[in-house]
A = this chain, B = another copy of it.
Amino acid sequence: MADAVLPPELEALVTPFRAKVKEQGDKIRELKANGAPALDIAEAVTELKHRRKLLEDKVMELTPSSSEQESKFDRIKMEELLKRRFFYMQSFSIYGGVGGLYDMGPVGCALKANVLKEWRDFFILEEGMLEVDCSILTPEPVLKASGHVDRFSDYMVKDTKTGECFRLDHLIKGHLEKLGADKKATAEAKAKYVSISTRLDGMSMEEMKDILREYDMKSPTTGNPVSDPMEFNLMFQTEIGPTGNYKGFLRPETAQGIFVNFKKLLEFNQGKLPFAAAQIGNAFRNEISPRSGLIRVREFTMGEIEHFCDPTNKDHPKFYQVRDRKATFFSACNQMDGQPPAQLTFGEAVDSKLVANQTLGYYLARLHMFLERIGIDPARLRLRQHMGNEMAHYACDCWDAEIKTSYGWVECVGCADRSAYDLTQHTKASKTKLCAEKSLPEPVMVDVLKVTPNKQLLGKTFKAKAKVVLEKIESLDKEEGKRLKEELETSGTSKVTVNDEDFEITKEMIKISEIQEKISVEEFVPSVIEPSFGIGRIIYSLLEHSYKVRDEDEQRGYFTLPAIVAPFKCSVLPLSGADELQPLVQSLSNELRKAGVSHKIDDASGSIGKRYARTDEVAIPFGVTIDFDSVRISPATVTLRERDSMDQIRLPLEDLARVVSDLSDGRTTWKEVEAKYPKFTQQQTVDKKDGAGEE
């Protein structure tokens, strides 16, 4: 399964690559053990990543495809089909298109809506999560607090004459690839180019600048010189309101909307922890030069869950339900040792502390189940742990669900234990306490500072501002309070700053005393476990995994999407255009509509075989054919065809809507239906004039 197992003869070819990774991994461990400078460690990690990449490429090259279909996969052909049948298309195509923006046509839109419905049912309804729907427009202070204003950026350079921009890593990689492709390049030089390219990910702006200048790289489109590298923030900026003074951004993720509403959500949950909130919505990243189709876009739909829990207890009451499920785990340790991923149960992964806690393990298992349920090939799905240096500094454990596509392994879901980071940041920035309370086993006595103001004197001294000054003093944390207390005691005066204005405080104005207080509840900042789904990437992977070509019709691809997410559940195909069949087509369509089954009528001319192929192209799992028997023999029957097996059965018209509805919602299987009804061979009556269209 996946890249976990290679046949021994191939594994031998990989062994030297594994050894190189392990050598470097060990070196890093040693550096860390000896307390080496962070810079040295970072450098060693860059080298480790480089070696890991070479190993991964080798494994990828040698790994047999999980299926014959995977090995024959032809992206160009699939994309042609996606475009022709309007699954999705570059936005504003008639105006020349805009990079990184895509419109979903009727097929893609229905597929997306079904994936989101499954997501909502599987996560929100099943787990009783609190769903919210927050603003896309976000004012600057919120994203300053979250770190996005300062850190959400890529490096780029500009063509000094035309102003055209290039993502720096793309530019360097492209340039080196070109050099490497030159016939005159020596083997040594080629190896060096590859080595630089795989190291780019971990390089600083300065290092990349040195490479840029060393190779005298120019604009690849004009040949003009390029500027020094600069940081480009990836958020779309705008102004809220007409003044021009209120900066806002389009949110780069939906999570912040949940964090800033934490207080109201906790209250809604009657103060109880743990609980999870979820949000489905669009987010935006102003990519410098988007490519890779739906994998890297400027506007995308996410599904995000924030599970808030007590940091001292991250057990999950339903973990037992997923304990025995297996998945491919690619641990940070195996990545450092050059070892392949391992097949483990979630129970093993959590018990061995590979996965930090039950709640994280539970969500990893659930997202793994979800992806398989909607049609992702489990053989091309792995859970990869972030290595220490990849992880955001606040996260304590982080995993990506990666899906193998023709673009390589693509990160489709992130799942991190973000500890108390987000709530702490927003508490600091907004001055609103975002925390929860829990009862102590028994009350305890704690030292607190008590402020006793001389309100009269304060009022006389600071007039209208006395109130804010006092508020400021009362809101000081313990340490600041102690400092103020000491200053007042030693020098008799001190200073308090409110809104950039200084106020001189004397010991006559306030008295600060240390007292003991009995406390029976404890305040704490909850930990956050965050599974975050990139819906567009999942949909793209799903399309690749379900794209098939039949041996007998190599020119025409189709999609084996599971019925629950298929854009339309059923096609209705009158055998011919004969008027005789029309009333039945209409009444059948009504029946299906009443049963909530989305369907497409294809009454265009052409053989029934061609029309089947056409509905296969848009992944319709079931096709109903209405023929002359249907209208001439009573009780009426129709043919039902299943897309993947192409098997056909004959069933009473009156059963049809219910059977297709049950099949579409997963309440029954095609196997069960096949067992119940006779196989269809051929119709008994044939219309001489119109029957000719039949295959």
Contacts and interface: CB of A to CB of B under 8 A. Distances in A.
B95 A142 contact: yes
A124 to B, nearest CB: 9
A164 to B, nearest CB: 7
A241 to B, nearest CB: 7
A135 B86 contact: no
A237 B106 CA distance: 29
Given A94-B260, A98-B139, A241-B99, A108 B133 contact: yes
Interface stretch (A281-289, A351-359, A383-391, A548-556): A281-289
Contacts of A95: 139, 141-142, 260, 429-430
The residue in A106, A267, A286 that gathers the most chain B C-beta atoms within 10 A of its C-beta is: A106
A227 B163 CA distance: 37
A236 interface: yes
A65 to B, nearest CB: 32
A104 B106 CA distance: 28
A596 B125 contact: yes
Contacts of A93: 260, 264
Interface in A503-529: none
Contacts of A142: 92, 95
A241 B165 contact: yes
A687 to B, nearest CB: 24
Given A242-B165, A430-B94, A131 B102 contact: no
A112 interface: yes
Contact of A135 (B101, B136, B236, B248): B101
A604 B270 contact: yes
Given A238-B238, A593-B125, A137 B284 contact: yes
A166 to B, nearest CB: 9
Contacts of A244: 163
Nearest to A297: B135
A137 B92 CA distance: 10
A263 interface: yes
Interface string A105-142: 11011101100000011000110001111111111011
A264 B163 CA distance: 34
Contacts of A237: 238-239
Nearest to A242: B165
Interface string A231-272: 010001111111111001010000001001101110110100
A327 interface: no
A91 interface: yes
A94 B263 contact: yes
A131 B109 contact: yes
A298 B240 contact: yes
A126 B260 contact: no
Most buried by B among A137, A268, A289, A593: A137
Contacts of A112: 133
B241 A286 contact: yes
A555 to B, nearest CB: 20
What interface size band does chain A fall in? 35 or more
A104 B125 contact: no
A85 B268 CA distance: 7
A120 B110 CA distance: 11
B98 A137 contact: yes
A89 interface: yes
Interface in A80-98: 85-86, 89, 91-95, 98
Contact of A156 (B89, B242, B248): B242
A656 B109 CA distance: 35
A132 B110 contact: no
Contacts of A92: 135, 138-139, 142, 260
A101 B299 CA distance: 20
A382 interface: no
Given A236-B238, A241-B288, A94 B133 contact: no
B103 A261 contact: yes
Contacts of A265: 86, 105-106
Contacts of A85: 268
A129 to B, nearest CB: 9
A678 B539 CA distance: 50
A425 B237 CA distance: 29
A432 interface: yes
A426 interface: yes
A257 to B, nearest CB: 6
Contact of A133 (B103, B132, B260, B287): B103
A158 B243 CA distance: 8
Contact of A105 (B126, B132, B165, B430): B132
Given A95-B141, A132-B104, A141-B95, A238 B250 contact: yes
A221 to B, nearest CB: 13
A91 B241 contact: no
Contacts of A598: 125
Contacts of A263: 94
Nearest to A230: B242
Given A237-B239, A245-B163, A131 B106 contact: yes
Given A86-B265, A125-B596, A133 B109 contact: yes
Contacts of A236: 137, 238-240
Nearest to A268: B86
A164 B243 contact: yes
9 contacts: A86-B265, A92-B139, A95-B430, A98-B135, A103-B257, A105-B265, A109-B133, A125-B596, A241-B287
Q: Which 5 A-B pairs have the closest CB atoms?
A: A104-B133, A94-B432, A165-B242, A106-B130, A94-B430
Interface of A: 85-86, 89, 91-95, 98-99, 101-106, 108-110, 112-113, 120-121, 125-126, 130-139, 141-142, 156, 158, 163-165, 232, 236-245, 248, 250, 257, 260-261, 263-265, 267-268, 270, 277, 282, 284, 286-289, 298-299, 426, 429-430, 432, 434, 593, 596, 598, 604
Given A110-B131, A137-B298, 8 more contacts: A95-B260, A98-B240, A104-B134, A106-B265, A125-B593, A136-B136, A136-B299, A236-B240
